[in-house]
């Protein structure tokens, strides 16, 4: 006896689950989006706390002071030069090597009673060591008022960069992705600066340049991911927004790893071989590469998903006056 199988009139057949054309395994990045968001919030709040309580160890570029390069005929210990300058009456000199044991850089606060024009002669006389002559080069003096103005303008430059990034990503992609990108950039800046505040590492113009470079690196990563998300929303059918975002992150993962590792190789080379002039720039960049790679996944895209990013955000809507009339 045969029985007929009838389909219920209201039953809708399920759409087939999306399968990647290259049979690539899709990594479920968004599975840990909530724990990652909590970690990001803790890192951001902690960084703000350290910045407000401990403050930044601002360099002479922002506080004002004197810097000079010393070139000795023989190798010398920075500590010996520092003692010689202190014995000569210079206050709080900080001496570091500059690529070799014969080339040094001296930084110290503005010296009372010493005119800028006389600094070269005074430093040359004070830094002389037995059987080791010295030449003084590139003597720079920055006043306290100039340093304060530079600090304010630097903060304004970072804020303007974030605003322009928001406008660009909004026009280029979608507002939800734009807000997520700016939040990720803000997270990268705050966490990097917070680590410098916690460790009391010097924060000077080279570190500020690294902060701006981190913004560019993180934004580039966000734009690549956003472009793939937009493309996938337009071409993939039968997949939820969460799955589409996971597909986009999986497809861009290889590119992200290659870019980050290449940049890290350069940064490590600067840390090892760049000397004192590039030390804190490379440290800030080293932190920023890790933080920026993480934030582009778990802040930028996760925020857009939380705000309800869907296919309709990327589909061009036809205006009513351009719609074709249906013929009876």
pTM value surpassing 0.85: no
- Does residue 252 share a domain with residue 186? yes
- Residue-number span of the structural domain to which 297 is assigned: 29-57+146-311
Bridge partners, residue 68, by sequence: 106
Number of domains in the chain: 2
Query: How many C-beta neighbours within 10 Å does residue 195 have?
Result: 19
pLDDT (mean) for 126-150 = 77
Query: With 70 as the cut, is the pLDDT of residue 114 above it?
Result: no
**Of 142, 167, 199, which residue constitutes the final position of a domain?**
142
Q: Quote the tokens at residue 288.
A: 């920023």
Within a domain: 17: no
- Does residue 233 share a domain with residue 115? no
Within a domain: 45: yes
Span 160-182, pLDDT tens digits = 888 888 888 888 878 888 888 88
Distance CA 174, CA 308 (A): 12
Within a domain: 251: yes
Within a domain: 22: no
- Does residue 232 share a domain with residue 195? yes
- Does residue 224 share a domain with residue 153? yes
| Highest mean pLDDT of the ranges 138-152, 202-216, 301-315 | 202-216
Distance CA 166, CA 157 (A): 14
Within a domain: 319: no
- Does residue 137 share a domain with residue 256? no
Q: Minimum mean pLDDT among 19-28, 220-229, 308-317: which range?
A: 19-28
Can you give the CATH number for the domain in which 79 is found? 3.30.70.330
**26: buried, middle or exposed (CB in 10 Å: 19+, 13-18, 0-12)?**
middle
- Does residue 134 share a domain with residue 155? no
- Does residue 214 share a domain with residue 112? no
- Does residue 168 share a domain with residue 95? no
- Does residue 187 share a domain with residue 80? no
pLDDT of residue 131: 84
3-state DSSP assignment of residue 26: coil
| Highest mean pLDDT of the ranges 19-23, 88-92, 127-131, 288-292 | 288-292
| Nearest by Cα to 29 from 239, 240, 294 | 294
Query: How many C-beta neighbours within 10 Å does residue 82 have?
Result: 20
**Of 108, 142, 176, which residue constitutes the final position of a domain?**
142
Can you give the CATH number for the domain in which 287 is found? 1.20.1640.10
Span 270-281, pLDDT tens digits = 988 877 778 899
- Does residue 74 share a domain with residue 53? no
């Amino acid at each position: 006896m045969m029985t007929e199988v009838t389909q219920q009139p209201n039953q809708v057949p399920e759409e087939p689950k999306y399968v990647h054309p290259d049979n690539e395994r899709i990594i479920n990045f968004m599975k840990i989006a909530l724990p990652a968001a909590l970690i990001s919030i803790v890192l951001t709040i902690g960084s703000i706390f350290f910045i407000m309580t401990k403050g930044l160890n601002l360099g002479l570029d922002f506080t004002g002071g004197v810097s000079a390069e010393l070139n000795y005929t023989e190798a010398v210990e920075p500590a010996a030069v520092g003692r010689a300058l202190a014995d000569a009456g210079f206050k709080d000199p900080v001496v570091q090597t500059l690529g070799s044991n014969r080339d040094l850089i001296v930084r110290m606060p503005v010296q009372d009673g010493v005119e800028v024009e006389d600094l070269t002669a005074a430093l040359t006389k004070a830094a002389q060591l037995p059987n080791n002559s010295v030449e003084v080069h590139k003597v720079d003096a920055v006043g306290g008022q100039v340093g304060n103005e530079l600090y304010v303008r630097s903060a304004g430059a970072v804020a303007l960069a974030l605003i322009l990034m928001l406008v660009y990503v909004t026009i280029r992609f979608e507002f939800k992705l734009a807000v997520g990108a700016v939040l990720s950039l803000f997270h990268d800046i705050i966490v990097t600066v917070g680590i410098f505040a916690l460790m009391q590492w010097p924060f000077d113009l080279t570190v500020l340049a690294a902060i701006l470079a981190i913004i560019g690196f993180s934004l580039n990563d966000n734009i690549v991911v956003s472009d793939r998300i937009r493309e996938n929303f337009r071409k993939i059918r039968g997949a939820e927004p969460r799955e589409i975002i996971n597909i986009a992150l999986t497809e861009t993962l290889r590119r992200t790893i290659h870019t980050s590792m290449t940049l890290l190789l350069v940064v490590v080379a600067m840390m090892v071989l760049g000397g004192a002039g590039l030390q804190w720039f490379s440290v800030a960049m080293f932190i920023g590469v890790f933080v920026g790679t993480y934030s582009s996944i778990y802040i930028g895209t996760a925020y857009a998903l939380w705000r309800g990013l869907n296919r309709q955000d990327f589909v061009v809507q036809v205006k009513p006056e351009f719609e074709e009339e249906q013929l009876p």
